[in-house]
Chain A
Amino acid sequence: MNFNSTGNNFGSGSISFKSHQEENYIVLNAKFKYNPASPAYQAADVLEIYVPDLSIERSAIAGVFMRFVDRRDSYGYVWDNSGGTVLKSWVKDKNTLCIEKLTNFDEKGEITIYVLTLYTMLGRGSKPIKGTRTGLQIIQEEQYLYWRSESFFATFDHWVFLNMLFSSCSYTYRGQPWECGIEGFPTDVTADLPFCGGGNQYNPTVDGISEAHIENGVFTCPQRTDGFEDTGHDPFVFAFLVRDN
């Protein structure tokens, strides 16, 4: 089910959501921006998005991604130090989605939020329902992208959980746009994905965050932040994605 927000307390416009809603949990997908210079944002303690009735009355804490853009010109080379982190988010009541306000990166200008999140209630049953793991198998004519063996997705009727752990890329493709099919991945998922990881020289409190995209079972990533392949900053994708079915 898709819906638009009815308002917010941080000065952004209407926000479009994809959702799958069950009695005890919901999966929400949205991408939107806010301006930290907005008086409404500055007056808010917690970012609140007002929405039409959700199926759950409240939720436990979940995570959404925030990303700032930081590109610097260095002797004619654009040095991309875009980055970000995870913010806590929760459903406060049927009509209010909350996101933690983290002011550490306000001076970076416009912030993008990616909601690729499952919000669950608790006290609803004695045991969780187990999913089925499908290991990531890449489809490429010439294979140049490699993912760690723990990468997988778990498909449910109306949503899918995607967990990708980057391993390596053939040298000649390092600066090229990336594209790979994911075997068996539902073709009814379309979303922009924060691709977290990689060193961030100018913002050392966080890693880099690049933006990737998935559509029709194909993963694309036009470019990565500088420092993407730094040792020990293992890039990953972690997303609960709503299916368009």
Chain B
Amino acid sequence: MIALPSIAFGGFSGSAKGVTARYQDGRSILSLKSYPTGETTIAQLAHRTNFSKINKSYKLLSDAQMRAWENLAEHASGQSVFGQKAKLTGANLYLRLNSNRVMAGETMLLDAPQQIAYVPEVEYDSVSVTPQLIVFGGIKHQTAPYKMVVKMSGSQSRGVSNGWSKTVIISSEVEDDWGEADVTALYLKTIGVEPTPGQKVFIECYWLDTSNGFTGQVFRDSVIVTGESSYTPRKRVTMDRLNPDYELHVSSIDVDFSSGGPVVQYDVMCLGHSNIASSEAYLDQDLPEELRGTSWALGRGNGEDGKLVAQSYVMWLYGAYYSTPARITFAHRGGYYVKPTEVFGPGVIY
């Protein structure tokens, strides 16, 4: 982009061939049309298509709608709503907010929001990047309609001190799972290669308010990739932690030991087995001593017969014993036994 003192082009605006001239803030600005270089990704194509659609849709707004966007843009300018101070036109603001909305899977806003929305800043305790695991820990949760946008770079030399321009969006809808966000798959899908130990990865995060498209301040971070993760995920038993050598008696399982209080949290679909009113889940790792014991939780029938019977279940949490791996037995106790039954909620452990 070239800014000229404007003798030859004063007051001129418009495009001719690959050059566009416009007059702004006492300056005439000439800009050359830019063309994408390199191989275009599907994501880029989708983004450009959305960009074009949103731009065109602005021209279809009523005068009143455009005025409302202009009014809002006047208030938006000068504030760090988007992480940098910028003077915006109504069309600019319309494009920005709606690009964010469309990126989050929402429809376009035709009417301007009543006011500029406050969006909190991303806060987390740690981020661990290894070739196998990329996980944020201790994220300060924000409820819907906020979603976390995560931008990350590929591996850079650890001597690079400013590599945030190399970040790309790996997800615009990260939702933490009780403070954790495992973005490994998203990273690999977007960046294409595992991070390299010893190198540096740059990170940008911000909350996106999907109801209006406003975003919070960009939080910048960088981290050296390590060979092994120092991050300890919270203790849970999930489907991917069951021992594949044993018959499955559950169709889904999430036993969570991270309450920090007097209960274990259950969310398990028990299928039962043989003629025994219980289901067993064998684990691929041992259950630590402090997590073994007996616990009770509620259940509710979930079968095709429509039975919704309230039940109580006892859970026995066993450690490995000789050749038998650690396991959790879900045994029916109260109410009429129904297969399958969803066992859920907190259970005291002793």
Seen from chain A, the residues whose Cβ lies within 8 Å of a Cβ on chain B are: 22, 24-25, 57-58, 60-63, 65, 84-86, 88, 92-93, 102, 104, 117-133, 150, 154, 156, 161, 163, 165, 196-197, 199, 204-207, 209, 232-236, 238
Contacts and interface: CB of A to CB of B under 8 A. Distances in A.
A150 B314 contact: yes
Interface in B287-313: 288, 290-291, 293-294, 296, 298-301, 305-310, 312
Given A236-B334, A236-B335, A118 B346 contact: yes
Contact of A63 (B306, B345, B349): B345
A196 B298 CA distance: 11
Given A122-B178, A126-B235, A207-B310, A163 B296 contact: yes
B92 interface: no
Given A63-B298, A63-B344, A163-B296, A127 B257 contact: yes
Contact of B298 (A104, A199, A238): A238
Contact of B179 (A63, A117, A123): A123
A36 B288 CA distance: 47
Contacts, number: 162
A149 to B, nearest CB: 12
B141 A58 contact: yes
B263 A128 contact: yes
Given A104-B308, A206-B310, A129 B262 contact: yes
B235 to A, nearest CB: 6
Given A127-B290, A196-B334, A207-B336, A122 B259 contact: yes
17 contacts: A58-B141, A58-B143, A60-B265, A60-B267, A62-B346, A65-B310, A123-B177, A125-B258, A126-B260, A150-B314, A150-B333, A196-B312, A199-B336, A206-B308, A209-B310, A233-B336, A236-B312
A238 B290 contact: no
A204 B307 CA distance: 7
A128 B349 contact: yes
Contacts of A121: 178, 259-260
A234 B335 contact: yes
B92 to A, nearest CB: 34
Nearest 10 CB-CB pairings of A with B: A125-B260, A236-B334, A124-B260, A123-B178, A122-B178, A63-B298, A123-B179, A120-B259, A62-B345, A63-B345
Given A62-B346, A85-B308, A124 B334 contact: no
Nearest to A90: B345
Contact of B346 (A120, A133, A199): A120
